[in-house]
Structure 1
Amino acid sequence: MQWTLEQLKAFVEAADSGSFSAAARKLGKAQSRVSTAIANLEIDLGFELFDRTAKRPVLTEEGKEMLIDAKAILQQCQRMNARAMAVTEGDPVAFTVAMDEAVPMQTFETLFESLAETFPDLKLTILNGSQDDIATWVKDERADIGFIFRVKPMKETLDWYDVTTINQVLIAAKDHPLAQIPHPREDDLVNYRQLAIVDSLGISRELPISPRYWYVDSYFYISNMVMRGVGWAFVPQHIAQMEWVEGSLKVLSTSELSSPPLLTLSAIKRKARGWDKVMQWIDSKLNTLFPEP
């Protein structure tokens, strides 16, 4: 078979517009050229695509089936052209974001939704990991940008900037003894087990208040254990407000405590990596989604 894209375009346009003459006007071609293209396509395929016995051409059953395939082929060609143009203009064809699992996911989902609309042909990969995982992925060019809760200096080959600060709240199970105290003090907290965050290498983001503490590398797992009454914890405010913990946890007053430590969300990239259109767009979008740190 020797069918061409020009023949497929003529076929699809004729089917969508309902006539060869309308298709010719839409394509900016002579009607005879459109009719010939469709006739040659039918010869190549070995069957008729249109029933021409009526005043207007009507798709045959075979034509209806082929129309689906023809549209899919033309759409794939459009995507290929868009990617080729992006490469020619220096735009990335693929982009990888690495981030801590505890980032404000609703905000990042908004970011990714807008990214999909702005760069429809971009191949995006999203990775989750610890600070060291993410820093290594960015350094080794497995990720283009990373989002971490920074707790120690970055590698010399990396640039970083703070995106925002995130409040933490004090949580306990609703039936935990601390939940019965209107304004817990540190003297109250030290009597019960604290669940404190630590990264996958065992590096803590905060010093425990209670001498009875467990280190856990996931805020989500910490929240699960708090719901079971294992202990109390400080977690990012947005995690305590998620639907899956609502009704099982109680956010406690911190009026009698030193302010819970703020978390600093930072973006990191390789120093040698330039600011292409996607990177610039993400940076600009983050400024609208997050308040200044």
Structure 2
Amino acid sequence: MIDALTLDQLRIFLAVADSGSFTGAGKQLQRVQSAISQSIQTLEVTLGLALFDRREKKPRLTHAGRALVADARRVIAGADMLRGRAESISKGLEAELAIAIGQLLPQDIGMAVLRELQQRFPELPVRLLTGGIAAPERYLRAGTVELAIFPLELTQATDLEAEFLLEVPLVPVVASSHPLATLPGLITRQEISSHVQLVLTDAMTTDDWSRGVVSSVVWRFADMNARMVFLLNGFGWCNMPLHMVAPHLKSGALTRLRLTEQEGFTMQLHAVYQRGRPPGPAGRWVIDRLHAHLAARGN
């Protein structure tokens, strides 16, 4: 008998429970009271439970009825979400939005856009992947994601479509307890090359990115956050995104190095997708919101 349960019955059950009467539920659902009463009776037979105590003027939820109200709300909410997703997909919205985000994207911008995404497309499932410097491109090429946010310069790929997002400044920094932090004036290449440099690498390949590498001894990390931990603990120096180290520079935990050769460099961050396979409506919306947030911040 439980298979005879319908969403309409559950909606009527909740309407009676919320309004406190069959008449109130009828007005809410624009149905005659007799139809409301009959539906509740059918639901009670189907469940084998009395949901309302009708001995008084207004029906009151029984103990069983009160226990089932929350379950009924979850079922209805799930059905509404299913209907919403189906309608969105039928209109071209992705069944799931899969994005790979590299670690150079400022976290506050990324979180703001993803929060807006959740509000704009509440029924849309999101697959969010992160990883080392080359992981976003691998996810994209494997078809695991349809949109990746990373610097195209890392791999020099020419067969992917890319939209410029912003220039990310990278600056040379070191823990304030490190010997390099005490050197006066500009630091020469000879002075800095004898100290360990913390460098990003790709754990899946043997091709190491070499831009900005000047030290003769390097420690390589596949994860930006792991490198930050070692940086703060004085293991060596490195070029880090300014937005990531700004709080530590302000607190005094890190010191910005002044080098004779350069005081850092910039990397271009892109929204990347496979050629001939542009993002769907939600993916396109994410790119547009990233542009809007970055423009508002002056990037």
Normalised to the residue count of structure 2, the TM-score between the two structures is 0.88
How is 1:133-282 mapped onto 2 (pairs within 5 angstroms)? 133-151=135-153, 152-156=155-159, 158-187=160-189, 188-200=191-203, 201=205, 202-241=207-246, 249-254=253-258, 258-282=262-286
CA gap of 1:236–1:120, structure 2 versus 1, over 3 A, is same
Task: After TM superposition, give the deviation of residue 246 of structure 1 in Å.
Answer: 7.8
Q: Quote the offset at 1:193 in angstroms.
A: 2.1
Distance 1:4 1:222 in 2: 56
Q: 1:48: Cα distance to partner? A: 1.3
**1:126 equivalent in alignment to 2:128:** yes
RMSD, aligned α-carbons = 2.3
Amino acid at match of 1:154: A
Using the TM superposition, name which of 228-237 and 103-112 deviates more.
103-112
CA shift, 1:247, in A, is: 5.2
2:68 is the alignment partner of 1:66: yes
Q: 2:285 corresponds to which letter in structure 1?
A: W
| Greater CA drift, 272-281 or 120-129 | 272-281
Task: After superposition, give the CA deviation of every residue in 1:122-180 in whole Å (9 maximum; x if it has no partner).
Answer: 11111123454322322332111001122232252x21122111112222122112222
Q: What letter matches 1:133 in structure 2?
A: A
CA contact (8 A) 1:171 1:232 kept: yes
Q: State the distance in 2 between where 1:85 and 1:290 align.
A: 32
SS in 2 for 1:167: strand
Which secondary structure state, in structure 1, belongs to the residue aligned with residue 265 of structure 2?
Answer: coil
Shift of 1:229: 2.0
Aligned partner of 2:67: which letter?
Answer: E
Normalized per residue, which structure has more helix? Answer: 2
Shift of 1:205: 4.7
Q: Where does residue 83 of structure 1 map in the other structure?
A: 85
SS in 2 for 1:92: coil
For 1:229 and 1:87, the matched residues in 2 are separated by 51
Question: Deviations 1:72-100 (Å, cap 9, x if unpaired)?
Answer: 11111101111111121111120110122
User: Structure 1 pair 195/37, CA: closer, same or farther in 2 (3 Å)?
Assistant: same
Query: Are 2:273 and 2:279, in contact at CA under 8 Å, matched by a contact in 1?
Result: no
Give the direction of change, closer, same or farther, for the CA distance of 1:184–1:128 in structure 2 (3 Å limit): same
What is the TM-score normalised by the length of structure 1?
A: 0.90
SS of the residue aligned with 1:235? Answer: strand
> Shift in Å at residue 232 of structure 1?
1.1
Query: What's the offset of the Cα at 1:248?
Result: 7.2
CA deviations 1:50-69 (Å, max 9, x no partner) are: 11222221111000011111
